[in-house]
Structure 1
Amino acid sequence: MSRSIEMARARLTQRYAAANVGVFWDINDFPIPDYLDSYAFYEDVKTNLREKGFTGSFSLQLYADGDPYMPARLVNRFQCPELGVSYIPSGGEFCRDSWILLDILKWSIENPSSNVMILAKNFKEEAAVKISYLDISHNLFLAYDLRTESPEWLCSFSMRPRSAHLMKSSFMPTKTKIEFDSFLSLFRKFDTSFRFFPKAIQTSHKGRRTQVFWDVSDSSKLEVLDPRGVAAHISGALVGNGYSLPLCSTLVFIDENTVSPDTLSRYAHANLLLHPVPKGNKFARMHSIALDLLFHARTCSEPSTLLLLSEDIDEDPLFSTVLDFLQMKGFNIVVQNPNPIVELPFNPNYYVFDDISPKF
């Protein structure tokens, strides 16, 4: 018996044996041979998990490149209702990693204290930190060791040779075009057409803590803005509309390598935490914000209010699905263009700043 299987069995306590299992499989990193039938593949993965003692509900999500022109055989081979397949549009490794991680975080919120198995090699440091956090409350398995066991035993078992009747022999070499515009249109657009605080706050939202996410489209603005004024106006707008303080914090997303250490320090002292994101890639930027939204939701003991200061939310359908998901989980989502608020001059009488200053 291999060491990885022994470790997996040792860690599989009674608590996790009956828990749900989510498998997230990047077929770029762990290819599935052409001869495998999708139904047989799904059943073999499920059988393998059962043999190792996992008896809970099982879901399998595959990730493939989103080449608009793919061989018909590759599209048709995954036409199995039990398999979830995401064809990820091109956008670099960050886009791919964040897409997978978004699914993992959403699934982990839906399935607390469950088993998470990830067959993907290219998670970067930031993703690894968030994934490692799941190890506290989930039975976590990664393809490469980050304080966890490896699920490669699942991959190797599922790849074993099949008998002839399980292989597809009618694959056609023709090309078929996947219409990604039509695919993206399936995402329901999150309504961001309203103004700041579009309706009266519900009584159930008044006592909630508030987390602010501010997407700075032009990082050079930070050098001339007064951090205390920005914090005061954000907090004043919240208080004036019935939201409770203190804030959890304000996370500020900026382009990498665009602000000085002094600016970082000034904003940190105003409880505005600057978070660098990839420069020049709008979708990577929005995915980074979406990841932090989900990570915050994952760490909340109860749903909170999320204030999003951003100009680009409408342009990313994947981000809209994250907002929809958080709303369904009970979070109060407020969206606003940041410019009318953060660029106002600082008025110390507008809000008592000391009440929200960080306590060191």
Structure 2
Amino acid sequence: MVIEEIPVGLLSIQEKRETFANAETGVYWDVEDFPVTDISRFCKKIRLALRRAGYHGKVSITAYGDKKESRYEDAGITFVSRGSKRARNHRMLLDIHCWAAENRTLAPTNLMVITKNIMRDEDDEDTQFVCSLEDLLCSSYNVLLAVPDDYQLEKIPFKLDSVWLWSALLRGKSHLDESLIVRQPPQEEVESVCPMCEK
């Protein structure tokens, strides 16, 4: 299914679920931020969590970490070796943008990001990570996030309805209830729309 470039943020939750139910999901995972011991089992749990949230399409996983290990490839994961947090975030962003550029048909696509410290007030490396996610959200991409269990959900700066706590994702559970994560912008920000959404 190919759709016109409709900002995802303008779709209702039901419309979004219908549009992205069978779409491909690209998972970008920082294994230094969120380590696991059994990689094959975790891959199965990611797929299970996505299915429980209503996403049934093909899933590809790219992992970013310090040292490459064969167990990632054995689990069908593409591994990118980058030592520092800044290097991992920059490479992840580059890969996400390359992946998006290949989606020239504007087919609905899900993007799951599993990493820490990407919000504006946490981005010590000034990677502008969250700005890139907002741009993709304003296009034909459905952004999904996994966050630490103690994360303050009000810090999420844009409207999302698919956010997982890390412990829930590890168990293959569904995402948080939308009422907990759909952040209403402050009154003075209501008129602010990203340039891509204005098209």
Quick check: TM above 0.5? Answer: yes
Secondary structure of the corresponding residue to residue 65 of structure 2: strand
Residue 88 of structure 2 is matched in structure 1 by 96
TM-aligned CA distance change 1:148 to 1:84, over 3 Å? farther
Q: Which runs of 5+ in 1 are unaligned?
A: 1-8, 67-73, 162-297, 299-360
Residue 74 of structure 2 is matched in structure 1 by 80
| C-alpha contact (below 8 Å) 1:118/1:151 kept by paired residues | no
Residue 49 of structure 2 is matched in structure 1 by 48
Alignment length (residue pairs): 142
Q: Give 1:17 deviation, angstroms.
A: 1.0
The structure showing larger relative contact order (alpha-carbon pairs under 8 Å, at least 6 residues apart) is: 2
| Identity value in percent | 27
Q: Which runs of 5+ in 2 are unaligned?
A: 1-12, 148-155, 173-195
Within-5 A mapping of 1:86-125: 86-88=80-82, 90=83, 92-111=84-103, 112=106, 113-123=108-118, 124=123
| C-alpha contact (below 8 Å) 1:97/1:122 kept by paired residues | no
Structure 2 distance, partners of 1:160, 1:55, is 18
Residue 142 of structure 2 is matched in structure 1 by 139
Structure 2 distance, partners of 1:28, 1:132, is 24
Provide the aligned C-alpha RMSD in A.
Answer: 2.8
Structure 2 distance, partners of 1:142, 1:119, is 6
Q: Give 1:87 deviation, angstroms.
A: 1.4
Within-5 A mapping of 1:157-172: 157-160=168-171
TM-aligned CA distance change 1:95 to 1:81, over 3 Å? same
Structure 2 distance, partners of 1:40, 1:94, is 28
Question: What is the TM-score normalised by the length of structure 2?
Answer: 0.60
| C-alpha contact (below 8 Å) 1:64/1:87 kept by paired residues | yes
Deviations along 1:135-170, whole A, 9 cap, x unmatched? 1121112346231435324x4334239xxxxxxxxx
Q: Decide which of 140, 143, 164 is 1:152's aligned counterpart.
A: 164
TM-aligned CA distance change 1:11 to 1:97, over 3 Å? farther
Deviations along 1:24-81, whole A, 9 cap, x unmatched? 111122221x2x2x33322221122122211211111111114xxxxxxx82432325
Residue 39 of structure 1 is matched in structure 2 by 40
Question: What is the TM-score normalised by the length of structure 1?
Answer: 0.35
More helix by share: 1
Within-5 A mapping of 1:1-360: 12-32=16-36, 34=37, 36=38, 38-66=39-67, 75-88=69-82, 90=83, 92-111=84-103, 112=106, 113-123=108-118, 124=123, 126-137=128-139, 138-143=141-146, 145-149=156-160, 151-153=163-165, 155-160=166-171
| C-alpha contact (below 8 Å) 1:46/1:58 kept by paired residues | yes
TM-aligned CA distance change 1:159 to 1:143, over 3 Å? closer
Structure having the higher Rg: 1
Deviations along 1:230-253, whole A, 9 cap, x unmatched? xxxxxxxxxxxxxxxxxxxxxxxx
Structure 2 distance, partners of 1:50, 1:143, is 15
| C-alpha contact (below 8 Å) 2:134/2:158 kept by paired residues | yes
| C-alpha contact (below 8 Å) 1:25/1:120 kept by paired residues | yes
Structure 1 distance, partners of 2:15, 2:144, is 11
